[in-house]
Structure 1
Amino acid sequence: MDRSTSDAPTPRTPRHLRSTWRRWRKGRPFWGGLVTVVAGAEICALPLAPLKIMLEQGIAGIPSVLMGLVMVVMGLTAWFAPQYRSLAGVLTVLMATAALVMSNLGGFLIGTVLGIVGGAMTFAWTPAPAPLPENDPAPGAEPLPQSPPKEIR
């Protein structure tokens, strides 16, 4: 059986992979999700100190770990389910604000500030509108009025 060149799969060149990555990244709130994941990891990492310090800290470290994990999950939700970006953004801001009180000043303020910024970026992101065909007028635009033809005398 003879295979034509149109049936052959396209090679995975670095240029093709880069364009695929850009398309994926631009179709979702990537930077808001990234900042949210970093904030969650920072809040989560502070209580995960060596065992001797963890034993002294006691049960107070559990809320920090849980809030950090929730923030990481919200960042991943923004990446892989962008239709839930509003919910993920609001929950991220709420978790970051709660971490200020419950988790070592929100990861020494770094995690709280990053969480609020990441949640706001995730909430504010909107998908790019689909491009209009060139021959169609813009939506809501009225056609230009045309003057009646002048009579030639």
Structure 2
Amino acid sequence: MLLSRSRWRRWRRSRPFWGGLFAVLAGSWICVLPLAPLKIMLQQGVAGIPSVLMGLVMIVLGLTAWFAPPQRALAGVLTTLIATAALVLSNLGGFLIGTLLGILGGGLMFAWQPYAASAPPAGPPAGQPASAPPVTVPPSAPPTDPPTPHSDPQGAQP
């Protein structure tokens, strides 16, 4: 039991879990609203098709953030754009709930960063005894580039 809980925690923290979850919830909410009973669906006509498609795409983008974390930035931007488009195309974005969840999920996916590796301990380097003085390396001279005559960092001429 404890082993599976630690594995779940490690898996969840190694990807934008909450952003993907909010995107899946937003897609589900937007997708389910047009799937009303047939009597209501016939009155709605083909207007429900974009809602279902946008909801499915948002679900896929949320799952992409979970199972392909390097693609999180693209998935986050697309989720935010689709959630904003759903505001106009799909019952006010699932009565605003789907749009708000989609924007939140897209932002969380885009902003998520993996944990950085922890810093090594501040002890002596391997192979050097603890009593030996530290080895110092003289600083190298900075590279000298000719100054540009104008303030444009791109180097374009005025």
TM-score when normalising by structure 1: 0.79
Distance 1:102 1:25, change over 3 A: same
Q: Choose which of 99, 115, 129 in structure 2 pairs with 1:128.
A: 115
Letter in 2 for 1:130: A
Question: SS where residue 133 of structure 1 aligns?
Answer: coil
**Which residue matches 2:63?**
76
CA distance in 1, matches of 2:9, 2:104: 23
Q: Does 1:116 align with 2:99?
A: no
CA distance in 2, matches of 1:132, 1:16: 26
Note the residue ranges of structure 1 that are not aligned, 5 or more in a row: 1-13, 138-142, 146-153
CA distance in 1, matches of 2:94, 2:59: 14
CA distance in 2, matches of 1:105, 1:19: 40
Number of aligned residue pairs: give it: 126
Q: Does 1:21 align with 2:17?
A: no
Q: Choose which of 48, 54, 57 in structure 1 pairs with 2:41.
A: 54
**Which residue matches 2:25?**
38
TM-score when normalising by structure 2: 0.77
Q: Deviations over 1:46-65 (max 9, x none)?
A: 00001111111110000000
**Which residue matches 2:131?**
none
> Once superposed, which parts of structure 1, at least 4 consecutive aligned residues long, lie more than 2 Å away?
none
